[in-house]
């Protein structure tokens, strides 16, 4: 997940075409000092724009280095991004605070990089002439970190990166300076520049609302911190002002993250414990997480998984119901809730849960799988068979759907269908000894003794092979967040 790809529809030069008219001099009220501001004298040469070009170069160099390490140029994985310093709540809040800054120079694919650098080149060059090198650099870094903090507080479990928060920070500072500052430029030129920057911010915030809430959080955090810094510079000129503003922004950001830190870190501890089979530790950590944030739906879902692992099905049901109240359309939560109810032998209640899931998402194979499980629990094997058929049709790569279909068909003495279902399951999972054993049973029921013996021997060989490796292959303790 990125920090929001800036997709500004218009050409930057189109908006900032009037910038040459407003750079013949720098306002004394905004100039931090003679050694950092770079005014252009009438008839003189343009000042050298060093910081903006250096920032763009750093972002490009980082991206090229990622490519050399075989990171995908268009769709880098979450793990690849994390290795290069992306922002991710459990890691950042767990002590790797440097990710707030490193993520500002990291981009998620070549399109993300190109569009952000395009905007930074024009907007940064313009702002660097206004503020001078040192002040502009502080604005860029502080607003970039502020955007990362805001994004982290908004969506702590997203993997995020990008310079868009800092770009919005530059825009915010310019808006405040144009509106509140005493700039010695033609009023019409200031209005044109102000309109262009406001248009940039407004358009990209609108696009962010449509595409990525996490990305827009970084946009808003960068914009607001930039507005504050620009206002402070307009009212209280000097380098000390921007440093004090930077410190204030960081302190407020830390306060914003304090509550987030309280539930994110134990949630990640619980996730690690869950995946390593430490149910009791997972339950303790995840209970602490949802206690500190009662609206944390993912925490309740993971807590339900931990209780299921512990086979405490009533407690799992309670946790899943909490998660579903917070996210009523989460189909995976609905499925797990139905399974927790079914595990308690309540076929009718499980049927109701899975039927509701099927109504809300008719294309859900999980809903059909659940209906099949509930029907089997109620003893209606014909209905279960129909449900498993639908599940396999909706998701032809779902080996479990074929396994359930084969077992139900075998129970109904539909041996040909059972053989077909188990054969498909084995094709999808060649190392599944259980599927091979079920296939042998189906062959046996059909009277195909030779085929049954072959399948049984394959299952036996596979089981012995796996058993011989068990002492050498412990379950790994690492966890890779799904969908990232």
Residue 87: strand pairing partners: 160
- What pLDDT score was predicted for residue 132? 87
The reported pLDDT for the residue numbered 262 is 77
Q: Which residue has the higher pLDDT, 302 or 2?
A: 302
Q: Which residues contact 214 (CB under 8 A, 6 or more apart)?
A: 1, 3, 4, 151, 154, 155, 158, 160
Q: Does domain 12-237 have CATH number 1.20.1540.10?
A: yes
What superfamily does domain 396-466 belong to in CATH?
Tetratricopeptide repeat domain (1.25.40.10)
SS3 3: coil
| Token digits of residue 392 | 């396999």
| Model confidence at 213: pLDDT above 90 | no
Local confidence band at 81 (pLDDT 50, 70, 90 cut-offs): very high
Ranges of each domain in the chain: 12-237, 396-466
CA distance 270 to 342: 25
Does residue 26 carry a pLDDT above 90?
no
- The residues that bridge with 160 in the sheet, in sequence order, are 87
Residue scoring higher pLDDT (280 or 210): 280
Residue 219 appears among annotated catalytic residues: yes
* Average pLDDT rounded to a whole number, residues 133-152: 91
Output the DSSP codes for 337-376. HHHHHHHTT-HHHHHHHHHHHHHH-TT-HHHHHHHHHHHH
What mean pLDDT is predicted for residues 138-162? 89
Select which of 31, 78, 164, 196 is catalytic.
Answer: 164
Q: How confident is the model over 356-407, as pLDDT tens digits? A: 999 988 899 999 999 999 999 999 999 999 999 999 999 999 999 999 999 9
Question: One of 107, 112, 155, 219 is an active-site residue; which one?
Answer: 219
The reported pLDDT for the residue numbered 164 is 87
CA 283 to chain CA centroid, Å, is 24
Mean pLDDT (the chain, rounded): 81
Active site residue 72: no
% of residues, the chain, pLDDT over 90: 47
| 150 φ/ψ angles, rounded to the nearest 5 degrees | -65, -40
Mean pLDDT of 408-429: 94
Structure token pair of residue 175: 């808006």
What average pLDDT score do residues 317-338 get? 93
Contact 123, 171 (CB under 8 A): yes
Q: Are 257 and 93 a contacting pair, CB within 8 Å?
A: yes
Which of 114, 116, 211 is closest to 163 using CA atoms?
116
Whether 14 has a pLDDT exceeding 90, the answer reads no
For 481, other C-beta atoms within 10 Å of its C-beta total 15
For Cα atoms 470, 473, 478, give the angle at the middle one, nearest 5 degrees.
140
- Taking the alpha carbons at both ends of the chain, their separation in whole angstroms is 7
């Amino acid at each position: 997940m990125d920090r929001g790809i800036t997709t500004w529809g218009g050409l930057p030069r189109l908006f900032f075409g009037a910038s040459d008219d407003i750079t013949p001099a720098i306002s004394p009220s905004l100039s931090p000092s003679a050694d950092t501001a770079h005014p252009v004298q009438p008839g003189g040469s343009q000042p050298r724009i060093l910081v903006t070009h250096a920032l763009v170069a750093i972002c490009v160099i980082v991206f090229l280095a990622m490519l050399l390490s075989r990171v995908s140029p268009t769709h880098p994985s979450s793990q690849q991004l994390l290795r290069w310093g992306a922002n991710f709540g459990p890691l950042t809040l767990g002590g790797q605070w440097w990710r707030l800054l490193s993520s500002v120079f990291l981009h998620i694919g070549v399109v993300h990089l190109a569009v952000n650098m395009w905007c930074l080149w024009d907007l940064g060059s313009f702002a660097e002439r206004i503020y001078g090198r040192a002040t502009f650099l502080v604005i860029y870094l502080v607003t970039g970190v502020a955007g990362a903090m805001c994004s982290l507080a908004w969506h702590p479990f997203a993997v995020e990166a990008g310079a868009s928060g800092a770009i919005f920070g530059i825009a915010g500072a310019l808006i405040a300076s144009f509106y509140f500052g005493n700039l010695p430029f033609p009023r019409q030129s200031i209005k044109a520049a102000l309109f262009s920057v406001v248009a940039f911010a407004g358009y990209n915030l609108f696009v962010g609302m449509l595409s990525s809430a996490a990305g827009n959080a970084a946009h808003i955090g960068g914009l607001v911190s930039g507005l504050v810094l620009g206002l402070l510079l307009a009212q209280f000129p000097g380098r000390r002002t921007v440093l004090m503003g930077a410190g204030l922004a960081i302190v407020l950001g830390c306060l914003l993250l304090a509550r987030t830190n309280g539930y994110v870190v134990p949630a990640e501890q619980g996730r690690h414990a869950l995946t390593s089979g430490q149910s009791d530790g997972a339950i303790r950590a995840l209970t602490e997480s949802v206690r500190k944030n009662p609206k944390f739906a993912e925490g309740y879902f993971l807590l339900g998984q931990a209780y299921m692992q512990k086979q405490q099905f009533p407690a799992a049901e309670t946790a899943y119901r909490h998660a579903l109240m917070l996210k009523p359309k989460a189909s995976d939560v609905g499925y797990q809730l139905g399974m927790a109810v079914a595990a308690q032998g309540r076929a009718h209640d499980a049927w109701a849960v899975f039927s509701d899931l099927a109504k809300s998402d008719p294309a859900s194979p999980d809903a059909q799988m659940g209906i099949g499980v509930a029907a089997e629990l109620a003893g209606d094997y014909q209905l279960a068979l129909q449900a498993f058929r639908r599940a396999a049709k909706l998701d032809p790569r779902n080996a479990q759907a074929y396994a359930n279909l084969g077992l139900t068909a075998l129970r109904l003495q539909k041996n040909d269908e059972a053989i077909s279902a188990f054969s498909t399951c084995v094709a999808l999972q060649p190392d599944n000894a259980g599927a091979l054993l079920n296939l042998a049973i189906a062959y046996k029921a059909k009277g195909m003794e030779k085929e049954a013996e072959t399948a049984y021997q394959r299952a036996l060989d596979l089981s012995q092979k796996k058993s011989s490796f068990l002492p050498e292959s412990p379950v790994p303790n690492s966890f890779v967040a799904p969908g990232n």
